[in-house]
Structure 1
């Protein structure tokens, strides 16, 4: 695997592949890689000839009181994992390369509607930062396909909407969440969990599964589904387990608007604090 940090080096390699008629897949990351990230590389191999990954801890998507300074940086280990997974090129730019004018003077991309609420409400400006950096990385790499993990369900919807609205010639491929045996979704921030916290963290997914089963059971009479009441009950159980629920909502799967009578493709979106870690998770439900 070749590692480059300069835009000129990245573009030269991608151009060489294009001249050979090869297709390009892309997996953007912030590093501190785990099996979930590697599953994205594996999926990209199914759709493209050459695979580019990036590692960039994006300052634009972190809030004033968030953990960018302490965010884990494990470059050597990440390079080893990407090499073992058959990645062809790793792009490792610095903030000065991505934002040469500084954040205050940087143009940005904002995706309405699907960026609002949930993580968009809890982390103001977060999805502006995500959309901007992904748009810029797409422009630099110019991939045919790009893979994103469904653990960040709202993020996937933001990126898919951006690609559609801006007519980008890129296929976004959502990839299923990789979980520990306990059901806990793999996340770079799981490293913040103590042993005791890791034991209670699976309560988040456990209660999403309970909520999904209740919704499916009540679907025989659509008018009887109390999405808000059931969500509050699930959130209460999560809090009782020792977590602190940030949000938990049942939504229409594409628009992310609150679920209502007649919706058959749903997603439960949730976030909860467990010690220093903020966990996010989701569960899709098909009632059709």
Structure 2
């Protein structure tokens, strides 16, 4: 496995290879990331190349968020990626990927990007789309693999690729969970032991919401309010716990609930100083 730091080096290494699978990450990897790399490896096959990018993207962090303290663990990440079947790690410095101020940006459709995460983190998806577009242009992969844990992000990126007719297939990787059900996340490392023991409550809240629908309850506002209240009582500060249609992340209507429309429960909440997100399709 090679670790490359410049665009020129990467393009030289990829020249002549058509079957390239890209896994964009911000590093500080866990088994959820490695599962995406293994998925990419299966797509690229023995003759293709798997590229994992590691770059903490300033454009998607608000000034009060954790850009400066986000863990940079390149040496450990490289060892994990090597074991997962990665061929090339692209780990550019900030002044390599943004050699000049990134004044040209990709602004996603507000109908999808300004709700949920976009509402609580204004500008987040513009930062995500801009860096992903740049990585896709640099790597020119045939496949790009993203995890479902960042559910809305996956939808935004998929729509971006479709609308720009980019020659890349977006592959969704299932959320990986710890034994107690907590979704794996780089930010789980911020939790102290007591918080970590309680963190599974977020997944449990989503399960309770889905169960309520399955048991015939149809008052969405009541289901969501109950979930929010439960999280407050358990010491969380929730941004949202909500039920949405998978297709567009809009609130389901009565016909959706009776007609079996695929739904997803989504949540974002802060436990101590750590903000966690999760989702559950049903």
When normalised by structure 1's length, the TM-score is 0.93
Residue deviations 1:138-174 (CA, integer Å, cap 9, x gap): 0000000111111100000000000001101111111
Structure 2's unaligned 5+ residue stretches are none
Q: Hey, what does 1:243 align to over in structure 2?
A: 236
Q: Hey, what does 1:80 align to over in structure 2?
A: 79
Structure 1: how far apart are the matches of 2:93 and 2:101? 12
Structure 2: how far apart are the matches of 1:74 and 1:29? 12
Which stretches of structure 1, 4 residues or longer, exceed 3 Å deviation after superposition? Answer: none
Q: Are the counterparts in 2 of residues 252 and 265 from structure 1 also a CA contact under 8 Å?
A: yes
TM-superposed CA distance for 1:258, in Å, is 1.4
Structure 2: how far apart are the matches of 1:181 and 1:236? 26
Residue deviations 1:79-119 (CA, integer Å, cap 9, x gap): 0000111100110111111112224xx21001112111111
Q: Are the counterparts in 2 of residues 200 and 242 from structure 1 also a CA contact under 8 Å?
A: no
Out of 136, 139, 146, the residue aligned to residue 138 of structure 1 is 136
Structure 2: how far apart are the matches of 1:194 and 1:204? 16
Structure 2: how far apart are the matches of 1:114 and 1:14? 34
Q: Hey, what does 2:88 align to over in structure 1?
A: 89
Residue deviations 1:19-68 (CA, integer Å, cap 9, x gap): xxxx1100000000000000000111121121000000000000010010
Structure 1: how far apart are the matches of 2:176 and 2:229? 26
Structure 1: how far apart are the matches of 2:94 and 2:70? 15
Structure 1: how far apart are the matches of 2:116 and 2:17? 40
TM-superposed CA distance for 1:265, in Å, is 1.0
- Aligned pairs for 1:102-117 within 5 A: 102-103=101-102, 106-112=103-109, 113-117=111-115
Q: Single out whichever of 253-262 and 196-205 deviates more from structure 2.
A: 253-262
Structure 1's unaligned 5+ residue stretches are 219-223
TM-superposed CA distance for 1:196, in Å, is 0.7
Equivalenced residues, count = 274
SS of structure 2 residue aligned to 1:17: coil
Structure 2: how far apart are the matches of 1:209 and 1:31? 29
- Residue 7 (structure 1) aligned with residue 4 (structure 2): no
Structure 1: how far apart are the matches of 2:166 and 2:16? 21
- Residue 37 (structure 1) aligned with residue 33 (structure 2): yes
TM-superposed CA distance for 1:16, in Å, is 3.3
Residue deviations 1:211-243 (CA, integer Å, cap 9, x gap): 10111121xxxxx61111101111211222221
